[in-house]
Amino acid sequence: MSQAIESERSRYDALMDVVERRMTVRAFDPDYVVPKDHYEMILEAARHAPSGANAQPWHFIVVTDQALKNEIMEYFRAEQVARAKLKMKFPTPDYRGLATSPGLIVVASDFRWTKAFPVLNDGSDLDKMYKENAERILLQSVAAATMSAHLAAAALGYNVWWVTAIGQEAAQKAMKPLLGIPEELSVLDIMCFGPAAKKPYKRWKKKLDEVVNWNRFDQSHFMTDAEIDEWIARTRHKVMYRDESNVD
């Protein structure tokens, strides 16, 4: 093997070490203070992300003010109660952990950027179809940047928490004034990071051969509606809240 290939392999291994160790936790050490340069290093990784039309349709709001963190957390707690009342049956996490997060970054986007993607902009039915696709492009772009930030945080030794339970309109209305976010923008997710309050655990991941298809879709990977419903009823809570060894 040439020396160049060997060094590429070690870079891959270093990357995979970070990828595998990126683990979600939902409670942090509240006394830890994130150094300012860590925020910058994390967002520097986000800045280099790919995006549709290279539009870079993202904004990051670093929240260091504990009172603001508490207010954000309070919104989630109220939302949690509302969801329980609605009997949504989603195994909602304890969002009080948000207020303990030493690092908290709100990720926002501006859906007007969908105009930069392949659309007709003439209000026709066809335009509507392309606009839906444009929204997907926008969301994937912001997710790409967010993922880079999460990996950078993991590389710095932090645990992370990707919170999206804020898409609904009421959440937008509650969150934007708190942070002075203009009406035109949407809050897409919140990135929490810091040292974990308890030992993090690795969650279940599908095996490689369950997700990889060669040339054609492997029909054995297809799940029926009933199988998906069964997975949601019997497995979902385990893969969200248990160690990978505790999922059968």
Ligand X SMILES: Cc1cc2nc3c(=O)[nH]c(=O)nc-3n(C[C@H](O)[C@H](O)[C@H](O)COP(=O)(O)O)c2cc1C
Kindly list the residues in this chain that would bind ligand X in the complex (CB under 6 A).
23-24, 26, 93, 162-165, 203, 240
In the complex with ligand X, the residue whose CB is nearer, 53 or 240, is 240
Of all residues in the shown chain, the one whose CB is closest to ligand X is 24
> Closest distance between ligand X and the C-beta of residue 232, in Å?
14
> Closest distance between ligand X and the C-beta of residue 4, in Å?
32
Query: Residue 161 burial by CB count (10 A; 0-12/13-18/19+): exposed, middle or buried?
Result: buried
Q: Give the residue ranges of DSSP H helices in the chain.
A: 3-21, 36-47, 66-85, 125-155, 169-179, 208-211, 225-234, 236-241
Would you say 82 and 56 are in contact if contact means Cβ atoms under 8 Å apart?
no
In the complex with ligand X, the residue whose CB is nearer, 26 or 69, is 26
For residue 23, give the nearest of 198, 238, 165 by alpha carbon: 198
> Closest distance between ligand X and the C-beta of residue 153, in Å?
12
In the complex with ligand X, the residue whose CB is nearer, 130 or 200, is 200
Query: Residue 2 burial by CB count (10 A; 0-12/13-18/19+): exposed, middle or buried?
Result: exposed
In the complex with ligand X, the residue whose CB is nearer, 59 or 83, is 83
In the complex with ligand X, the residue whose CB is nearer, 101 or 114, is 101
Would you say 161 and 26 are in contact if contact means Cβ atoms under 8 Å apart?
yes
> Closest distance between ligand X and the C-beta of residue 38, in Å?
20
> Closest distance between ligand X and the C-beta of residue 203, in Å?
4
